[in-house]
Structure 1
């Protein structure tokens, strides 16, 4: 019973890694080629190949070492490359208007009740 529970947990983690890699592959494909150069990152083709191989390994092979290497590549893309691409493409700003302060509320700047 314990082993079947552990296998179920591994299956869920494996599914999560596949979904994470597919989402990263989608984001890599959706970004413009010139944004990769402007952000001084590897080329779009490089990331498409790396993330595509990651998805293929996650789906077809059950070799934990290769799956973990793909997970590291996916995390690097999502944490480092994607925010840089968003900043270069004008998508970075967290939903705020440009030039706004961190103390701005939905109707303008917060003045502390003065």
Structure 2
């Protein structure tokens, strides 16, 4: 038995699953915010960010057992850029819940 090879395979699998989780989280967050919040925050359109994060999640799913592939690194970078740059700007415009706190007549 090659214990080092088994250990390396396990570490790569854990990294791949973690990367996929990050990419799916970014996709969910990109789809959650309103369309007008993207333009109000001065970011690109919602369609672009949902498409980019969906492509990143798809790449992460396909390459889950090879997380050090060049395309996997690009997919993680797209998700990280969204989560660290775009999401905070959207939250400052729209609020942390992704929705306004009140109805058409204000809050409670």
Q: TM class by shorter-chain length?
A: 0.7 to 0.9
Unaligned runs of 5+ in 1: 93-114
Determine the structure 2 residue equivalent to 1:103: none
User: What's the CA shift string for 1:39-60, capped at 9, x where partnerless?
Assistant: 0101111111111111111111
SS of structure 2 residue aligned to 1:41 = coil
Runs of 4+ in 1 over 6 A off after TM superposition: none
TM-score, normalization by structure 1: 0.76
- Structure with the larger RCO, 1 or 2 (CA within 8 Å, 6+ apart): 2
Aligned length: 92
Residue 22 (structure 2) aligned to one of 20, 23, 45: 20
1 CA distance for matches of 2:76 and 2:28? 15
Please list every run of 5 or more consecutive structure 2 residues that lacks an aligned counterpart in the other structure. Answer: 98-108
2:11 corresponds in structure 1 to 9
Q: Is 1:59–2:64 an aligned residue pair? A: no
Q: Which residue of 2 aligns with 1:108?
A: none
Give the TM-score of the pair, scaled to structure 2: 0.80
Larger radius of gyration: 1
1:3 to partner: Cα distance: 1.1
